[in-house]
Amino acid sequence: MRHVDFSPLYRSTVGFDRLFNLLDTRGQPEQAQTYPPYNIERTGENTYRITMAVAGFDEKELSIEAHAHVLTVKGEKTEEDKAEQSEYLYRGIAKRAFERRFQLADHVEVQSASLKNGLLHIDLLRNIPEAMKPRRIAIAAEAGEAPKTIEAQVAPQQVN
């Protein structure tokens, strides 16, 4: 099954167009990108961390850009490293250029990024505005009705 028809869901939902488009594009076959390897972890209720293994790259050779719900991480070696004319007997450390994209949900912002021991850490925060958080709605009684009370008779006390 290569394509799912979401048109019946469009009739009963409002504002989920972006979600259905994401599901539709994820279902399409694409070349599987495996470099560089990464982890996505939830570090708190509203915090996340993306960790990418970028061995051999320096801070100057990496760029991180967040734009319109897409986080893009690019890595490209500088020309001086490419000009190096050494003969490799075995090359297991990849130094090829890469571009990795992550779809961010609404209200997810990039907080910080750090590079330590060949691992690039990108910290994310989901910051939901107060207007979009759930709130409790009080139920008011109609104006003509008096509050209902339960009447009971007090039991007579026995004297000993």
Which DSSP state fits 93?
Answer: S
Report, in angstroms and rounded to the nearest whole number, the Rg of the chain calculated over CA atoms: 29
Threshold 0.75, pTM exceeds: no
CB-based contact 73:100 (threshold 8 Å): yes
> What is the average pLDDT across 136-158?
71
pLDDT value, residue 81: 54
Query: Domain limits of the chain?
Result: 1-30, 33-129
Residue 144 has pLDDT above 60, yes or no: yes
Instruction: Give whole-number Cα distances, 130 to 99, 103, 135, 137, 138, in Å.
Output: 35, 23, 9, 15, 18
pLDDT, tens only, 103-122: 888 888 999 999 999 899 99
With a cut of 80, say whether residue 48 has pLDDT above it. yes
pLDDT at 27 over 70: no
Q: What is the pLDDT of residue 112?
A: 93
β-bridge partners, 103: 70
Q: What is the pLDDT of residue 51?
A: 95
| 72-107 residue pLDDT tens | 999 998 766 555 677 878 877 777 889 999 988 888
For the domain made up of 33-129, the CATH class stated in words is mainly beta
Find the distance separating the first CA and the last CA of the chain, reported in whole Å. Answer: 86
CA quadruple 3, 7, 8, 12: dihedral sign: positive
What mean pLDDT is reported for the chain? 79
The CB-based long-range contact list for 132-141 (8 Å cut-off, 24+ gap) reads 132/107
Q: 104, 125 in Cβ contact below 8 A?
A: no
43-48 mean pLDDT:
90
